Structure 1
Amino acid sequence: MTPPTIGQQQPGAQLDPRLRDTLGEVDHRRVAPPYLRLISCLSGTAGDRVYQWDLRLSQPNREHLDLAVVHSLEHMLLTYLPQHIPQVVNVGPMGCQTGFYLTIVNSDSYDQVLTAVHAALADAAEATEVPHANTTDRGRAAMHDASGASGTARRLLAAAADWTQVYARPGAP
């Protein structure tokens, strides 16, 4: 069997209808962050399913987050997200500084992932310090912005009702 390419849904999988139009590649000129969308779903040889999510925070090619904010949010999400959805494998910052890739195994519920991300961002919004931001645990402990990360989390939470809308609604600015 040929392994699926990025963005290819496995045959027989039930896909939440809200994810159908944005699975795989999207037109970065038309997206309207913040949003959470499924990028791909791959099956492992033992039957595990690996889901790659796009948690987009800012508009690609127009704005980006400060690197210290990205670094701090990465620490916060890596700490808080597994507390709400233990199947998290990784949280990886996008090189363009516009969001994060979330890798989650054996959890195909869009609502469960949305709820877990919301809860993790609520934890981040309340944080006054960055978890593991020290020279013992990490390699660049000085490059953090706890207040910037918490403020970004609050901004995202304020827009949570729109997280399932990847593209701008007709008539929206």
Structure 2
Amino acid sequence: MIDFEALGWSSDTVGELDHRRLKAPSVKLRGVHAGAAGDIVYTVDLRLRRPNADACLSSTELHSIEHFLLEGYGRLLPRHFVGIGVMGCQTGFYLTLLGEGRRAVIEDALETILKGVLAADAVPYARVDQCGHWRHHDLARAQAVAREVLAQRSAWRDVA
């Protein structure tokens, strides 16, 4: 049994929630799965825009932020980072980690990554040899999203 509170998560917000209640930006534990060998996989909802509020991210914002999250979590949590997936609704990302479910670690890494977006002069992995749609990036818009999300850092735990 996972002690969600010890990891920094409010147990009443773990799992699927009514999307009409979700707030953004927020960081929420979506799922926890134990493997046969005892490994624990954590899925985290990195919600940057509020669902159904006509404020979804553009495809270039999503694509560019995805590249920053891929590079950043891979660099900051290399033993734990499994992957990052774009939400089809264009309001955020699903982060998958192996053996790391502490909210503070995940949020601190996100903050570091977003600050890196603001200081960047290029989107990572955005060359023709690294990206299947390499011209479909917008650093300035990614920086605007990062600035917006960082400005609300104190509210990331207020998920619903």
Partner residue, 2:87: 94
Partner residue, 1:152: 145
Contact 1:54 1:99 in 2 (8 A): yes
Contact 1:77 1:124 in 2 (8 A): no
Q: CA deviation at 1:18?
A: 3.5
The runs of 5 or more residues in structure 2 that have no matched partner are none
Partner residue, 1:136: 129
**Structure 2 residue corresponding to 1:30, chosen from 21, 24, 28:** 21
Q: Any residues of structure 2 matched to 1:2-13 within 5 Å, and which?
A: 12-13=1-2
Partner residue, 1:39: 30
**Structure 1 residue corresponding to 2:112, chosen from 110, 119, 135:** 119
Say whether 1:108 aligns with 2:101: yes
Q: Distance in 1 between matches of 2:67 and 2:143?
A: 12
Q: Distance in 1 between matches of 2:91 and 2:24?
A: 9
Q: CA deviation at 1:162?
A: 0.5
Deviating above 3 A after TM superposition, structure 1's stretches of 4 or more consecutive aligned residues are none
Contact 2:9 2:29 in 1 (8 A): no
Contact 1:80 1:124 in 2 (8 A): no
Q: Encode CA deviations 1:48-91: one digit per residue, 9 max, x unaligned.
A: 10000000011111220110010000001101122222211101
Q: CA deviation at 1:118?
A: 1.0
The runs of 5 or more residues in structure 1 that have no matched partner are 1-11, 168-173
TM-score with structure 1 length normalisation? 0.86
Q: Which has the higher contact order (CA 8 A, sep 6+)?
A: 2
**Structure 1 residue corresponding to 2:73, chosen from 71, 81, 88:** 81
Say whether 1:20 aligns with 2:23: no
> SS of the residue aligned with 1:69?
helix
RMSD: 1.1
Q: Distance in 2 between matches of 1:23 and 1:79?
A: 26
Bigger radius of gyration among the two: 1
99-108 or 78-87: bigger deviation: 78-87
Contact 2:16 2:30 in 1 (8 A): yes
Q: Distance in 1 between matches of 2:97 and 2:128?
A: 28
